[in-house]
Amino acid sequence: MSELLSFLLQHEESFRRFRLPSLYSDFRSQQAINPDGYKTNLNAWEAGLTHAANAGLIPGGRDIFSLRTGESLLHALETKEWGRPLALTPVIAAAVAEGRMIPLSEFLTSPTCIYEQKEAVPPWFLVTWALRQLGLRRVQNVKLGPPIGSYVLIGNVERAAIKVSEAMDVRFGRIDRVLPMNVFAAEVARILEQPSGLTDDDLKILLVYLARDKSYLAYNSLTVKLRGKGETSPVITTEDTNIAYLKALMADLHLQLESLNMKVAELDQKARSAVASKNRIVALAVLRSKKLYETIFSRRSETLSQLEGICTKIETAADQIEAIKAMKASASILKGLNTEIGGVETVEEVLNGLRNEIEHIGDVEALINGTAQATTIVDEGAIDEELQALEKQDRAKEDEKAVLETKKKFELLDSMVPSETAMRSGEENVQKAHSLVSDSSTHALGRLSIESGESRTISQKHSEGTAIQEIQQA
């Protein structure tokens, strides 16, 4: 079992054992009688081959962005029980017609964006279908099927482009956004987790997609320039090419220094081994070589330091240029705004007009408030009369209550019938009670005569005097 077939059986839900007879059969006849089953088989094959390509398992190379058809692919999919798949032709044709696969040559040479064009059904598929309708499966001993070639898997390219752009978006400065081609390829391989690096075809496909279809970068054989913030489509200038050359030289020096450092460490170990084995001649020769490599290492380090200093100055100058551009744009904006304002005289005129209007509003409010106060004058005399009437009513209620209490006390005394012995023994208490009642009655009646302010009749005074004498005699 090939690695490709093993991957499909282990990772694809549609390639379970009970589905293999249908997938490996010539299911083209189902397009009319069972369109759902036909579509399911097409999707299963397309998804399986796309995922296998992304894992680098398609025969004929380790491309992750393209699918190579032909004998090697059919052989890798062959099983002992079901043989080779008989209906890969409609799978490729449907994917091409719907724009999910594009022939590699067309993808690389097309001047227009892939999202602006609609692929038609490939002519070779129409010929194949027509001949099969006539019952012909071979023409001049050539088996009909998809022609041998490579097809770009758009889904894989789109997902990779998203990963690359998200990782590269952290580069803000002009110097950071310019990369040598080899540095860009190594960085992309790291982002996409491809330890062996991208193939030439994969790198071309990704560059074309990001440049033509996404306008994310511009590139030539040596330089890649990423789109900056606010740019619609980057353009490589002579300065960008020189910056890329400088960065390529620095990257090469880094690699040389790593190699020289390892060589020095290796020679140092050999010298120590020669000394330990008492081989003085070998030790001297190794130490001479070590000294030579250390000298080369020191010179390359100085060169790298100088180049890094130059790169830093270039980056500073580039930042200053961007700052000056921003200040120019700001000055232009401020000039336009000042023109709209119209100068100091216009501002003073506006402010004076505003003050006048505010004062006018204040005058109107004062006039309205004065009118309201004039129409809501309260008669203080009427309020005093109403208050006196309420106080008079309150006093009358209190007097009436006092008279009722006095009456109750008279009734209590009348109801008391003391015996002769009780009268003798309680004479003191009775006198005290009579005195209390007399004082209370006299006080209550006096309040009535004083607070009422009205003259009493002779008969009323006589009645009150008689009542008081009766109480005292009792």
- What is the per-residue pLDDT for 431? 57
Q: How many CB atoms lie within 10 A of CB 265?
A: 12
Residues (pLDDT < 50) of the chain are: 119, 124, 127, 129-145, 419-422, 425-426, 430, 433, 436-437, 440-441, 443-468, 470-472, 474
**Nearest residue to 44 (alpha-carbon basis) of 73, 9, 83, 74:** 9
Q: How far is CA 44 from CA 41, 47, 86, 391, 443, in A?
A: 5, 5, 14, 102, 117
Distance CA 195, CA 197 (A): 5
User: CA torsion, points 280, 282, 285, 287, in degrees to nearest 10?
Assistant: -70
CA distances from 120 to 15, 96, 101, 127, 145 (A): 29, 8, 12, 14, 17
Q: What integer pLDDT is reported at residue 385 of this predicted model?
A: 81
303 by DSSP, 3-state: which?
helix
Q: What DSSP letter does each residue of 207-244 carry, written as one string? A: HHIIIIIS--EEE-SSEEEEPPTT-SS----HHHHHHH
Contact 84, 4 (CB under 8 A): no
With CA atoms as reference, report the closest residue to 146 among 126, 163, 176.
Answer: 126
User: Would you call 415 exposed, middle or buried from its count of C-beta atoms within 10 A (0-12, 13-18, 19+)?
Assistant: exposed
Task: Give Cβ neighbours of residue 434 (< 8 Å, ≥ 6 apart).
Answer: 471, 472, 474
Contacts of 17 (CB under 8 A, 6+ apart): 9
CA–CA–CA angle 117, 192, 116 (5° rounding):
10
The token pair that represents 20 in the structure block: 């293999």
Query: Computed over its alpha carbons, how large is the radius of gyration of the chain?
Result: 56
Q: Which residue has 């890969």 as its token pair?
A: 88
Q: Report the C-alpha gap between 193 and 167 in whole angstroms.
A: 13
What does each C-alpha distance from 465 to 9, 126, 188, 251, 471 come to in angstroms? 130, 141, 127, 134, 10
Backbone angles phi, psi at 79, to 5 degrees: -120, 160
Q: What is the pLDDT of residue 314?
A: 85
Return the closest-CA partner of residue 147 out of 78, 93, 75. Answer: 93
* Residue 104, burial from CB neighbour count under 10 angstroms (0-12, 13-18, 19+): buried
Angle at 302 between CA 287 and CA 170, to 5 degrees: 125
d(CA 210, CA 57): 24
Amino acid letter, 154: I
Alpha helices, H only, 169-279: 181-191, 200-208, 238-276
For residues 209 and 157, is the Cβ–Cβ distance under 8 A? yes
Per-residue pLDDT reduced to its tens digit, 282-312 = 899 999 999 999 999 999 999 999 998 988 8
Quick one: DSSP state of residue 65?
A: S
| pLDDT tens-digit series, residues 32-56 | 899 999 999 999 999 999 999 999 8
> Residues 113, 213: contact at Cβ < 8 Å?
yes
Helix (H) or strand (E) holding 152: strand 149-153
* Tokens found for residue 316: 């500073």
pTM for the model:
0.63
Q: Which residue has the tokens 């006299």?
A: 442
- Conformation bin of residue 141: beta by default, left when phi > 0, alpha when psi is -120 to 50: left
Residue 447's pLDDT is 46
Question: Pairing state of beta strands 101-103 and 149-153?
Answer: antiparallel
